Amino acid sequence: MYRARLFAIRHSRKFEWIYKRVEQVMVALDPVFAKIGYGRVERPIALVEQGIKTVLFDCKMCGQCVLSSTGMSCPMNCPKELRNGPCGGVREGGYCEVKPWMKCVWSLAWDGAARMKDGDKIREVLPPVDRSLKGSSSWLRVSREKAAKLREAREASRTAVAEAFPEARAIEPSSAPLAEEPASAVNREVLKK
């Protein structure tokens, strides 16, 4: 869907906004996904994600979506699958070296990024694609990542407490616990505040 892709890049700012909302929803749904099991929701969510993103962005399901850092122009549509900007072979008028009928994905990406609020993200050097993640849901990955970050922050504060009260930890380990807590033992209502 070349034309839909061009449309999405032309309206990169709107799509950036939508994408942020989708991300928030996915992060908020982490407890639900965790309860059902990420393994079980992987396939249905990946299918939905593929359907939507293929129409809008010509998504190739690399599993490591970086659209918001590439001006909403999917870099996997670049025949060289470049992740960090255009190659040196872009043709006159901004057409692709390998597929001359197509606009350069990266030339469009810089234009798209210029219209976005956080378009400067395009300046960051992105890592190579992990090919083993092909076909998996990027949305679920974001959800898991953000949730892990929250857990990490909580871990850090628990470690700090344990280190500040080493004697108490020695005599009453449960007063400054370090062992992993099962999700059911954590009061999420308290965490939200």
132 binds other proteins (CB under 8 A): no
80 binds other proteins (CB under 8 A): yes
- What's the min distance (Å) between Cβ of 10 and other proteins? 16
**Candidate list 43, 117, 123, 154; residue touching other proteins; CB under 8 A:** 123
**128: amino acid identity, one letter:** P
134 binds other proteins (CB under 8 A): no
**Candidate list 31, 51, 79, 177; residue touching other proteins; CB under 8 A:** 79
Site size for other proteins, by CB under 8 A?
29
**173: amino acid identity, one letter:** P
Segment near other proteins (CB under 8 A), from 47-55, 126-134, 138-146, 171-179?
126-134
98 binds other proteins (CB under 8 A): yes
- What's the min distance (Å) between Cβ of 110 and other proteins? 4
Please identify which residue in the block is written with the tokens 């990266």. 106
97 binds other proteins (CB under 8 A): yes
Q: Judge contact between 126 and 83, C-beta under 8 A.
A: yes
Q: 103 φ, ψ to 5°?
A: -70, 145
Q: 50 φ, ψ to 5°?
A: -60, -45
- What's the min distance (Å) between Cβ of 99 and other proteins? 9
Return the CA Rg of the chain.
21
183 binds other proteins (CB under 8 A): no
- The contact pattern for other proteins, residues 1-40, with x = CB under 8 A and - = no contact, is ----------------------------------------
155 binds other proteins (CB under 8 A): no
Instruction: Work out whether the CA dihedral 93, 101, 83, 17 comes out positive or negative.
Output: positive
Q: Judge contact between 74 and 59, C-beta under 8 A.
A: yes
The string over 55-81, giving b where at least 16 C-beta atoms fall within 10 Å of a residue's C-beta and e elsewhere, is: ebbbbbbbbbbbbbbbbbbbbbbbeee
> What's the CA gap between 23 and 150, in Å, rounded?
15
Q: Which residues bind other proteins (CB under 8 A)?
A: 79-94, 97-98, 104, 106-107, 110-111, 123, 125-128, 131
